[in-house]
Structure 1
Amino acid sequence: MPVRARYTYLGPEGTFSEIALRTLPEAANAELIPAVSVTAALDAVRCGDATGALVPIENSVEGAVTTTLDELATGQPLMIDREVVLPISFALLVRPGTQLDDVKSVTGHPVAQAQVRRWLATYLPYAEWESASSNAEGARLVRDGRFDCAFAGEFAARRYGLEALVTDINDVAGATTRFVLVGRPGRLGDPTRADKTSAVVWLAHNHPGALLELLLEWAVRGVNLLRIESRPTGEGLGQYCFSIDAEGHASDRRVAEALMGLHRLCPKVRFLGSYPRAGGSLPRPRHRTLTTPGTGPDQDDDPAYTRSADWLARCLDGREAATPREAA
């Protein structure tokens, strides 16, 4: 009998992380194991107890899930294999018979609180909030009588014997959360032309223009950054590393050269993988440098870089003098 793959996720059962994981083909015939925290989920991968972990990394309203960013930047290296973007809407889950006027205490994940803050101020202005490790854990605590209600997915109500007193709660319509499937380092998948590359970089020195130098490695090659977050390194005030998502695959010439440039400039670069971008959006790289931007996307073979590489090869073997590049 073949061994079933094991995937862990931020639990307990009934979290948005579980729902996101179940959308992936990897989960179809796998054993799915809830973890008590993001750290525990990733540690299960590091020690070999799980093939991968599905954890939240970014919310369209609240921003980064900093625990995930910090865990990926430290400890035994891990790599992102793919991402999932899930629409998020909350329900107010209560024990049967509870009315809105009965609610004095509320719980949920801290990222959920940021997405329902205005609703809370309008309808439960005097309720006391206490965070839980996940929204489903909040539902479990309500079931056990620790709190009067929890913000969680409506799908969690049946699992914990609760009722959805109010549904479709969200201060911002169309809110989404991005999750990443993380595994141990391995060979990258083939590029799809709709990819994302993630890395964490540390500055060598804190001096004027230090961050600009880092950003220029991407900009002069026409690579668009989708996200950049500064995170404290723990080495003292003012000491930061930068978590970056960029368009493209590490096998793309533009992205590869940018990564090599960062490796040359920075004392430490942690590569977090290249993987298909959720939604399949194609990048639109700039053809030239900062001073002469192009007007459209490159083709599959990235002709601007191909022409430059061919020209340099001719220069190196003496077939062509170092003349100005022909106009495109």
Structure 2
Amino acid sequence: MPGTPPTRFVYLGPEGTFTEQALRTISAAEHGIRTPARSVPEALEAVRTGDADAALVPLENSVGGAVPVTLDELATGSPLVITREVVLPVEFQLAAARLIPLAQLRTVAAHPQASAQCRNWLLANMPDAVVVDVLSNATAAISAASGECDAAICAPIGVPRNGLTVLADKIADRADAVTRFALLSRPAPPAAPTGDDVTSLAVSIRHDQVGALLAVLTELAVRGINLSRIESRPTGEQLGTYVFFLDCTGHVAEPRLGEALQGLRRICAEVRFLGSYARHRWSTAAAEAPVPSPPGLSNADFADSTAWLTRIRAGHSA
């Protein structure tokens, strides 16, 4: 990360969450100060006010999709930027304060993302149990330990920390499920391009403009920029107005992506830059080379065309 490395980290707590596990894969965080927050908004507010240097929060899951509260926080308030992403394989356990038959469980505490990933298992093994939504996997474990709920769907790290007994292991419907986390800090110059980067944006389009979303996508497509993710969230201002969250391949320092951002700035009601950062390659399958640019749309092609135009403007032969 550019500038002074962060030493004070905050993350979605309490202790014992997948977020803590993901944070501890970052060397600076493992040797720095780690403080749990009660919610995503609280974690990000600590960074905005200067009480922390960076915050790690969940962004999306391969099964449950995006984490709405994180997206909403990124679209509002003082700007924050993603400086790093962490992709973590996720495994869940069903645990309780004591050994108890599954048929006797009436309530199960779970984070909504966790219960979404274990939906089929719950239907097959505990169809009558009521799932109680909580703020985190660690909170679920605490709820089971305190007796507020009969059991919890939690991360393995939360079982010994809360003195729980495992009733069932690896209960996720998809064994290959992963969660993507974002490390956020106050705006600063992004790290240099790596050649395999992601740029994240929050884009508000003019809702009364015909073809507004198509115009946004065209700005990217004509420059050979791959859109790896698009997600919409209501603005809360009025029915029918949305913010679109985009993940694009490339780095803001690259000519073609820079041109695309200028184009989006011209045609959109608002464009919020959420960071350019290296893509996290977390498995052999995910370590494939980035998708190549179409002919004529590589960074080298854009640099060549810019130099050509500069020569023409200076009165030289093309």
Further displaced range: 155-164 or 278-287: 278-287
Aligned residues: 308
Task: Find the aligned partners of 2:295 and 2:68 in 1 and give their Cα distance.
Answer: 34
1:233 aligns with 2:235: yes
Task: Find the aligned partners of 1:112 and 1:264 in 2 and give their Cα distance.
Answer: 40
Measure how far apart 1:98 and its partner are: 2.1
1:286 aligns with 2:288: no
Task: Find the aligned partners of 1:63 and 1:4 in 2 and give their Cα distance.
Answer: 29
Q: Which residue of 2 aligns with 1:212?
A: 214
Identity of aligned residues (%): 48
1:139 aligns with 2:157: no
For residues 58-77 of structure 1, give each alpha carbon's deviation from its aligned partner in whole angstroms, at most 9, with x where no partner exists: 10011110110110110011
Kept after mapping to 2: 8 A contact 1:44/1:50: yes
Q: Which residue of 2 aligns with 1:150?
A: 152
Runs of 4+ with deviation above 4 angstroms? none
Q: Once superposed, what is the RMSD of the aligned Cα atoms? A: 1.6
Further displaced range: 80-89 or 262-271: 262-271
For residues 99-154 of structure 1, give each alpha carbon's deviation from its aligned partner in whole angstroms, at most 9, with x where no partner exists: 22221111110011111111010000001111010011010011000001111112
Task: Find the aligned partners of 1:143 and 1:41 in 2 and give their Cα distance.
Answer: 25
Kept after mapping to 2: 8 A contact 1:263/1:269: yes
Q: Which residue of 1 aligns with 2:311?
A: 314
Structure 1 residues 11-160: aligned runs within 5 Å: 11-160=13-162
Kept after mapping to 2: 8 A contact 1:91/1:167: yes
Task: Find the aligned partners of 1:318 and 1:275 in 2 and give their Cα distance.
Answer: 39
Task: Find the aligned partners of 1:78 and 1:311 in 2 and give their Cα distance.
Answer: 37
Structure 1 residues 243-322: aligned runs within 5 Å: 243-279=245-281, 282-288=290-296, 298=298, 302-320=299-317
Task: Find the aligned partners of 2:291 and 2:27 in 1 and give their Cα distance.
Answer: 25
Structure 1: gaps spanning 5 or more residues: 290-297, 322-328
AA in 2 matched with 1:286: P
Task: Find the aligned partners of 2:16 and 2:172 in 1 and give their Cα distance.
Answer: 19
AA in 2 matched with 1:252: E
AA in 2 matched with 1:80: I
Task: Find the aligned partners of 1:58 and 1:13 in 2 and give their Cα distance.
Answer: 20
Kept after mapping to 2: 8 A contact 1:223/1:286: no
Task: Find the aligned partners of 2:294 and 2:109 in 1 and give their Cα distance.
Answer: 46
Task: Find the aligned partners of 1:247 and 1:25 in 2 and give their Cα distance.
Answer: 25
Q: Which residue of 2 aligns with 1:294?
A: none
SS in 2 for 1:319: coil
Structure number, greater radius of gyration:
1
Measure how far apart 1:283 and its partner are: 4.2
AA in 2 matched with 1:304: D
Structure 2: gaps spanning 5 or more residues: 282-286
Task: Find the aligned partners of 1:15 and 1:317 in 2 and give their Cα distance.
Answer: 59
SS in 2 for 1:169: coil
AA in 2 matched with 1:7: F
SS in 2 for 1:170: coil
SS in 2 for 1:67: helix
Q: Which residue of 1 aligns with 2:284?
A: none
SS in 2 for 1:180: strand
SS in 2 for 1:192: coil
Q: Give the TM-score normalised by the residue count of structure 1.
A: 0.90
1:187 aligns with 2:189: yes
Kept after mapping to 2: 8 A contact 1:191/1:249: yes
Kept after mapping to 2: 8 A contact 1:93/1:154: no
Q: Give the TM-score normalised by the residue count of structure 2.
A: 0.93
Measure how far apart 1:4 and its partner are: 8.4
